[in-house]
Structure 1
Amino acid sequence: MEILILNSIVFFTGIKLLQKSIKKILNGNRSICLITLILFVVEYIVPLIVETIWYVLRIKVDMFPPLSLALCDRTTSYIYFCFAMCIQLYLYIFGTKSNISINLLQTPKISRELFFILKCLRFLPILVILLSPSPLLYFKYYAPFTLHKDIVTESAAQFHSSWVSSSCTIAFLSTMAIQFFRLKSNKKQLMVQYFSVFLYSFINGKRTILAFSVLGLIVISVLRTKKIQLKKIILPLIMVIVFFALYSILSGKGEYYGSAGMNLLMTYIMYFDRAFVTKIAIFEKLNPNLVHILDYPFQTILFNLFFWIPRSFWPEKPYPYALYFTSGAIGNKTFYMVPWRFQTAVYAEWISNIGIVLGVFLYIIIYTWFVRKTEKKKNLLIYFIGLIYSCFLQMFEYTGTPQYFIILWCILIFLSLFKKKYLVYNSMVKMNDL
């Protein structure tokens, strides 16, 4: 009964803060904390409804024994209650104090030549797959390196994981940059943008890059307009959710848990629920004899800081946090490399690395410094990169795409020290004729 009461208090508090945050954003406050609060409520608070059903029905999944233990543990629920209340109140209060208006942010200019290069880079993956050892795989199958591994050669798989994946990331960043530097888009230009998103998402074979792209386009549209049209936000999000559901049905990825209702429940938990990830991390700290995630403190934080060092020079270099978490979530008492992974989150990573209280506290200190530094620059490009990075961290751990954004953010912050020479501030250049 206590768990039901705690979940209800957190849920209704989160919904109330969500309502207030959206109202402030619609009135012109573009604080990074207010926008990320929306994602926090969606990813960490709303899933408590599903977890309450889980608790009431006492559902057990043999494949993931720590999952049921964490969701039904009272001490874990008490700690998560304190965590969720503190984080959402912090984001709302700090975001309200920031009160950043889009009119206060300046935008660097971009040359026509560079803009043309960005337009071409959107379709770079097409050129790259033509150089692949097995280019026909991309035209015959969707996600052959995930769904049809039996027909994929090792050389083609290595080429895809290195060159093709990198080209898709470049295409993604180019698409976002085009949307950022273009004041307005007519229907034809918007169709080309979404076509490029579909193209590199199809070639990449990962659903997450599609979700990232839609999220990025939504955030940019919010930044570039004073009056927000909710239909332009809700419809793309519905499309992503439908796509994820169809993918699970067609690929058979959701058919491991028994009944159709259980398949739907587990699909939601694995892809859209970050509360359970955080709860398992908390439960592991409370019960290290039952669940094992990391071998020593700061293990994956070391990977995040030094991921660029080749493993040939550092054979004992740690792996991304998601691999360790997945190994622990399926019940392994020692780390075992599994061929798939859970979608994890930054709060769980810091809890596993440093501890429940100290981990969250240190992350909040660093995040506060990051947000203040980003908003203080009053540069729309720096603000945009910082906002996207913050949104990623609410949904995932640091590894992967967020690394590109934090590197780009650091470069822009450094160049801002010499803004008279490198970052020329001016009104937005009209690009509709390009």
Structure 2
Amino acid sequence: MISILNVSVFAWLTFCLFICLKQVIKGFRHSILFAFIIFYVFFGIPLLLDTLVGTPDYNFYPSYYRVTRDEFTSLIYAVYISIVPLVWWCFGRTKVLNNRTEFNIQGNYLNIAKIILNVLVFSPIIILIFSPYPKMYLHYGVIIHESNIDALKFHSYINLTCFLSVISIAALMLLKKRNFTSLLIYVPFALISIWLHGKRNIVAMAILLLFYVLWKKEILKGKKLVIFGSVALLFLLGYSSLYQNALRDNESQLTNKMKFENFRIDYGRDVATKMTIYSELHPKESKILEYRGESILFYLTIFVPRKIWLEKPYPYAVYFTDEVFNLPKEPLGWGLTTSWLEESIANFGWLGFLIGPLLISEIARRGDKTNNLIVQALTVLVICLFLVVELSAFYSIFILWVISTLYFKNKSKLHTIRNLDKGS
């Protein structure tokens, strides 16, 4: 029964993806369309893999084995991800104010903005000068095995500047008239940021932003759009495989079955969502958060030092990972990857099934309403990140989105008022 249901839901999600891609190819500018694509990859394709290949045993993840064998949990998951696209379609789109979006800054302010963006492009290199261990960055991905606390603390600044550098490159490319020339100029700096950052998520982010820029400037149309997207996806899968084999110490010792299991955990959010659903169904057997809203409280107090508040909550991934391995609720130094959709369920209970996708819808609508090139690019990035990692992993980007959205929303209102005054 579950296999038939999985195939049916996968077929429905494939239909939704087809409608979404058709809209993108036609030139519709709704940011929520990109959420459909990411959602299909991380939440939909795992259903097909379970049917064709089989559900992994998850021998090293005791809770995963239990929840993936619970039919009622799988049933609720299937129904849930079937409804999410409908929520986005109804509430995630807004009337496009202008198909040709603008930067909404003129004159000296535009020049100042360009200067700031260019400084941010160089920022990882500038920050690297102050690193206590700059030579360690001669090796790619060195931070994965680094245990030095000082090096790890400083790498958080490297992470932040690398993200801002890649975002700034995308912003400057959107502003450039000569697309090919601007691409050649900024590619080396993007590669430097990718190297210094040392993890796979920045590669995915760079490709997503490049795809968005080329689509927004109408360089990618029709078949070219589909071909580029397919090639980009294959490249990411190939890159990830090479990354795992080269930088993970025990990867060569794993069997193909174990590698597939790791692949499912890395690129599927279905098991994490099922784990959260299972916890709602069996609260006495599994409890991720100690109380409702615990990880939300962490986000609201993220800048409060733990030395001041010893009982400050941890990020959601800490609680989730501990629950998977039946461990006390404390940091392990690493964590399993989660998304906002299951975190919303853990924080708000059954109401979280609606709050999760509705928040993403609201972010997409608010970003689109600014009718601003940079804000819309940030909006696409933010809603996609909400679907693949927890908020603490991109908190600085989210804050940047909030500030820019509020700023350009007010600019848009002021522009509308001035036009009405002129008309009268």
- Give the alignment's TM-score, normalised by structure 2: 0.88
- Contact preservation (8 Å) 1:142, 1:202: yes
Q: Which amino acid aligns with 2:39?
A: F
1:79 maps to 76
1:382 maps to 375
Q: 5+ residue gaps in structure 1?
A: 425-434
| 1:14-54 CA distance string (max 9 Å, x none) | 11111111011111212222221111111111111223356
- Contact preservation (8 Å) 2:205, 2:381: no
| 1:119-157 CA distance string (max 9 Å, x none) | 343232223223222221112x222232354xxx44333
1:340 maps to 334
- Contact preservation (8 Å) 1:257, 1:266: no
Superposition deviation, residue 99 in structure 1: 5.9
2:239 maps to 243
Mapped pair 1:144 → 2:138: no
Aligned ranges 1:92-111 → 2 under 5 Å = 92-94=89-91, 98=94, 100=96, 103-109=99-105, 111=110
2:281 maps to 286
Deviates more, 1:107-116 or 1:381-390: 107-116
1:90 maps to 87
Aligned ranges 1:58-207 → 2 under 5 Å = 59-94=56-91, 98=94, 100=96, 103-109=99-105, 111-112=110-111, 114-139=113-138, 141-149=139-147, 153-161=148-156, 163-186=157-180, 188-207=181-200
Mapped pair 1:233 → 2:225: no
Q: Distance in 2 between matches of 1:49 and 1:340?
A: 29
Q: 1:331 aligns with which of 326, 334, 353?
A: 326
Q: Which amino acid aligns with 2:398?
A: I
Q: When the two structures are aligned, how many residues end up with a matched partner?
A: 410
The ranges of structure 1 where at least 4 consecutive aligned residues each deviate by more than 6 angstroms after the TM superposition are 420-424
Q: Which amino acid aligns with 1:67?
A: Y
Q: Distance in 2 between matches of 1:154 and 1:50?
A: 39
Q: 2:297 aligns with which of 290, 299, 302?
A: 302
- Contact preservation (8 Å) 2:13, 2:40: yes
Q: 5+ residue gaps in structure 2?
A: 417-424
Q: Distance in 2 between matches of 1:235 and 1:257?
A: 29
More helix by share: 2
Q: Which amino acid aligns with 1:413?
A: T
Mapped pair 1:413 → 2:409: no
1:430 maps to none
| 1:187-233 CA distance string (max 9 Å, x none) | x5323433222211211222111211211221222222275232333
Q: Which amino acid aligns with 1:91?
A: W
SS of residue in 2 equivalent to 1:107:
coil
Counterparts in 2 of 1:221 and 1:53: CA distance versus 1, 3 Å: same
Q: Distance in 2 between matches of 1:36 and 1:237?
A: 15
Counterparts in 2 of 1:127 and 1:422: CA distance versus 1, 3 Å: farther
**CA RMSD between the two structures:** 2.7
Counterparts in 2 of 1:308 and 1:8: CA distance versus 1, 3 Å: same
| 1:336-391 CA distance string (max 9 Å, x none) | 32222112110110111111x21122234444443333333333333332222111
- Contact preservation (8 Å) 2:88, 2:361: no
Q: Distance in 2 between matches of 1:227 and 1:176?
A: 15
Name the % identity.
26
Mapped pair 1:404 → 2:402: no
Q: Which amino acid aligns with 2:303?
A: W
